[in-house]
Amino acid sequence: MAAQINPSILSADFARLADEAKAVEGADWLHVDVMDNHFVPNLTLGVPVVESLARATDTPLDCHLMIEAPDRWAPQYVEAGASSVTFHVEAAAAPVRLAREIRAKGARASMALRPATPIEPYEDLLPELDMLLIMTVEPGFGGQAFLDIMLPKIRRTRELIRKHGLELWLQVDGGVSADTIERCAEAGADVFVAGSAVYGASDPAEAVRALRKQAEE
């Protein structure tokens, strides 16, 4: 699969979300970080903002739920217009049921692992998912330094995906930039979330193109 770049609107200007979404048209997805100040120590946005964003842009929304009780909330993000919904396995009560529900509602189902959460206990769940997200920072904030210690986990996960012959996308999120994206791609990631590396650039659309090119080299 060609590399996909998903700009994270966490690094955008929240008072100008529609314009900020348009500034990265040409990106594969728009990454929307939902934080509840419980699962992570930060608070961002919820269902009504996702509904408005879905109306404001043609770029499909990749909603990353950093919230408690995703079993209860994730289906509402599909209804709000998300095309992909990621829940954290550490917060989900019933990840298999939840992934099936997200798919049944018509979105791609994705599961995220915090840096300290291993992939191995979840090997048998992989066929239930359309994407797996390996966090390369502790979730909660944009602009943190990439955790190199996650590279072996990316490699092991790519190996499991291969072993099972799955179509699963492997996403990395946190500290992805011109300095780190090649290491992620080499380890086996194919979907790259970038917040500050895109919205911190003078031309965000050009930053998306440059990152994609680097990831594909």
- Identify the burial level of 19 via C-beta atoms within 10 angstroms of its C-beta, where 0-12 means exposed, 13-18 middle and 19 or more buried: exposed
Rounded to an integer, what distance in angstroms lies between the CA atom of residue 69 and that of residue 40?
A: 13
The nearer residue to ligand DX5, 8 or 84, going by C-beta atoms, is: 8
Active site residue 179: no
CB 137 within 8 A of CB 119: no
Rounded to an integer, what distance in angstroms lies between the CA atom of residue 69 and that of residue 217?
A: 39
Written as six digits, the tokens of 92 are: 């989900």
Active site residue 173: yes
Q: Which residue is nearest to Zn ion (CB)?
A: 64
Please, what is the minimum distance in Å from the beta carbon of residue 148 to ligand DX5? 14
Within residues 118-177, the interface with ligand DX5 by CB under 6 A covers: 137, 139-144, 173-176
Q: How many residues bind Zn ion (CB under 5 A)?
A: 3
Rounded to an integer, what distance in angstroms lies between the CA atom of residue 160 and that of residue 134?
A: 14
From ligand DX5, Zn ion, none, interface partner of 194 (C-beta below 5 to 8 A by class):
ligand DX5
The nearer residue to Zn ion, 126 or 141, going by C-beta atoms, is: 141
Say which residue the tokens 């043609």 belong to.
Answer: 58
Q: Binding site annotation covers 173?
A: yes
- Identify the burial level of 14 via C-beta atoms within 10 angstroms of its C-beta, where 0-12 means exposed, 13-18 middle and 19 or more buried: exposed
Stretch that binds Zn ion, among 15-23, 63-71, 178-186, 206-214 (CB under 5 A): 63-71
Letters for 52-91 (x = contact with ligand DX5 by CB under 6 A, - = none) are ------------x---------------------------
How many CA atoms does the CB half-sphere of 189 hold within 13 Å?
A: 30
Residue 194 found at the interface with ligand DX5 (CB under 6 A):
yes
CB 62 within 8 A of CB 29: yes
Instruction: State which of residues 193, 207, 211, 215 lies at the interface with ligand DX5 (CB under 6 A).
Output: 193
Within residues 17-46, the interface with ligand DX5 by CB under 6 A covers: 31, 33
Written as six digits, the tokens of 89 are: 């396995």
Q: Binding site annotation covers 38?
A: no
Q: Which residue type, as a one-letter code, is found at position 38?
A: H
> What are the two backbone dihedrals, phi and then psi, of residue 126, each rounded to the nearest 5 degrees?
-55, -40
Which residues are the active-site residues? 33, 173
Return residues touching Zn ion (CB under 5 A): 33, 64, 173
Return residues touching ligand DX5 (CB under 6 A): 8, 10-11, 31, 33, 64, 137, 139-144, 173-176, 193-197
